[in-house]
C-alpha cells in the first residue's frame, strides 16, 4: 500500500466518524504512519465506545470527541489544532428524511455550514465534504440537502484570504459495496428466504468497493486546491444482473419503486460536462464561478466531451462478469 507523505505530522478529524465511511477511513488512516492524530467526532457515545473496542490503535493516535455538527461552538472547539477535516456526518435514510425534512435541513445543510465556519475560524488546511450521487439532479430531500451542501462547500472558497486559507472541496460517489444498508447487504439477508425483492427490473447502479473509495479520498485530499468536485471512476451493472450473479438460486419479486428512488444514478450531468476533467482515477468538476482561480492545475488534464454524461445506464461503463465477481462479493 502506497504511503501518503502529505499526511506527515497531520491531525485529521472525521465528522460522523462512527458510520460506515468513518470506520473504513479511520481503519485506513491508522495504517498511515505519518498521521499524528486522528479524531472521530460524532454524537453517539455507544458507537464511539464500540468503535474504540474494534480498532487496533497500538500507537494511541485515536481520539473521540462527542459533539453534533448542529452545534457550531462545539465544532469550533473540536477543530482547534486540526489540519484536515473530512465531513461525513449526515442524515442519510431517504424515507426517514422525507417524513422529517426539517431535521435533515438542520443536519445536512445547516450542519455543513457550521463545519465550514469552524474550519475557517481555525484556519484548517483542508476540509472535504463527502457527498452522494443523490445530490445530482435530486428528486428527494436527502439529495436536495446534499446538493445544497456541495454548493456551500464550493462557494466557501470565496472566503479565503490572508487570514483564512482553508481549502474546501467535495467528493461525490455512488453505491459502496458492503456499506451499511447497501443492496449487497440486503441480498445477504434476503438470500436466506429464497426471494429477492426488486423495485424495478430496469434499474441500474454504479458499484465501487470501499477500498477504492479510500484510495480516491486520500488522492482527493492530496490534490484538492479548492472548489473542485471529485468523482471516482465507477462501473455500472443492472440490478437484475447483480441478483443473477450473486443469488442465482433465488426468485425475484418486483415490488415497485419507492418514493424518492431513481431508476438510474447520475454522477456527472451534461450541464457539468464542459467543466469536467479526467485525471485518470477520477473525474473532477471545476467550480462554475468564484474559486476557478484555484483549479488551474486541472488545465493539464484532458477535458471530458461536452456531451459526456456519467450515468449508470451508460453502456460504456458496464462491468464485465469477471469485474463484477471481484467487486460484488457476498
Residue 226's closest CA among 286, 269, 281, 267? Answer: 286
CA-angle at 29, arms to 232 and 142, nearest 5°: 45
Q: Rounded to whole angstroms, how far apart are CA atoms 88 and 95?
A: 20
Paired strand residues for 211? none
Question: Residue 257: which residues within 8 A CB-CB, separation 6 or more?
Answer: 199, 200, 203, 263
Catalytic-role residue among 10, 126, 134, 262: 134
Q: Rounded to whole angstroms, how far apart are CA atoms 320 and 330?
A: 17
Cell of 193: 428466504
Question: Residue 320: which residues within 8 A CB-CB, separation 6 or more?
Answer: none
To the query of whether residue 296 is one of the catalytic residues in this protein, the response is no
Question: Residue 109: which residues within 8 A CB-CB, separation 6 or more?
Answer: 145, 148, 149, 152
**List of E strands, 78-234:** 84-87, 126-132, 167-173, 175-177, 195-198, 204-209, 229-232
Element containing residue 64 per DSSP (H, E): strand 62-66
Question: Residue 96: which residues within 8 A CB-CB, separation 6 or more?
Answer: none
> DSSP readout, 241-257?
HHHHHH-TTSEEEE--P
Residues carrying an active site annotation: 134
Amino acid at each position: 500500500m502506497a504511503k501518503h507523505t502529505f499526511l506527515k505530522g497531520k491531525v485529521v478529524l472525521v465528522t460522523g466518524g462512527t458510520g460506515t465511511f468513518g470506520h473504513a477511513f479511520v481503519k485506513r488512516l491508522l495504517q498511515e504512519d505519518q498521521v499524528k492524530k486522528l479524531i472521530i467526532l460524532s454524537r453517539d457515545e455507544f458507537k464511539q465506545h464500540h468503535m474504540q473496542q474494534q480498532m487496533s490503535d497500538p500507537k494511541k493516535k485515536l481520539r473521540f470527541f462527542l459533539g453534533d455538527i448542529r452545534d457550531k461552538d462545539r465544532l469550533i472547539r473540536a477543530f482547534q489544532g486540526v489540519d484536515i477535516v473530512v465531513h461525513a456526518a449526515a442524515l442519510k435514510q431517504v424515507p426517514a428524511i422525507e417524513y422529517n425534512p426539517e431535521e435533515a435541513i438542520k443536519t445536512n445543510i445547516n450542519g455543513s455550514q457550521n463545519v465550514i465556519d469552524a474550519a475557517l475560524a481555525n484556519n484548517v488546511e483542508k476540509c472535504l465534504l463527502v457527498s452522494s450521487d443523490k445530490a445530482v439532479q435530486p428528486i428527494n430531500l436527502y439529495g436536495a440537502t446534499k446538493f445544497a451542501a456541495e454548493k456551500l462547500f464550493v462557494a466557501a472558497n470565496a472566503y479565503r484570504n490572508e487570514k483564512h486559507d482553508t481549502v474546501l472541496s467535495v467528493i461525490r460517489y455512488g453505491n459502496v459495496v458492503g456499506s451499511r444498508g447497501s443492496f449487497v447487504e440486503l441480498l445477504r439477508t434476503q438470500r436466506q428466504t429464497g426471494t429477492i425483492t426488486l423495485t424495478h427490473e430496469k434499474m441500474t447502479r454504479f458499484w465501487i468497493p470501499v477500498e477504492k473509495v479510500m484510495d480516491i479520498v486520500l488522492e482527493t485530499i492530496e490534490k484538492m486546491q479548492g472548489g473542485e468536485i471529485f468523482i471516482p471512476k465507477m462501473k455500472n451493472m443492472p440490478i437484475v444482473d447483480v441478483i443473477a450473479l450473486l443469488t442465482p438460486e433465488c426468485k425475484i419479486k418486483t415490488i415497485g419503486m419507492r418514493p424518492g428512488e431513481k431508476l438510474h444514478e447520475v454522477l456527472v450531468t451534461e450541464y457539468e460536462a464542459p467543466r469536467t476533467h479526467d485525471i485518470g482515477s477520477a473525474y473532477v468538476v471545476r467550480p462554475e464561478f468564484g474559486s476557478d482561480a484555484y483549479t488551474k492545475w486541472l488545465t493539464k488534464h484532458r477535458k471530458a466531451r461536452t456531451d459526456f454524461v456519467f450515468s449508470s445506464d451508460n453502456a460504456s461503463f458496464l462491468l464485465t462478469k469477471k469485474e463484477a465477481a471481484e467487486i460484488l462479493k457476498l
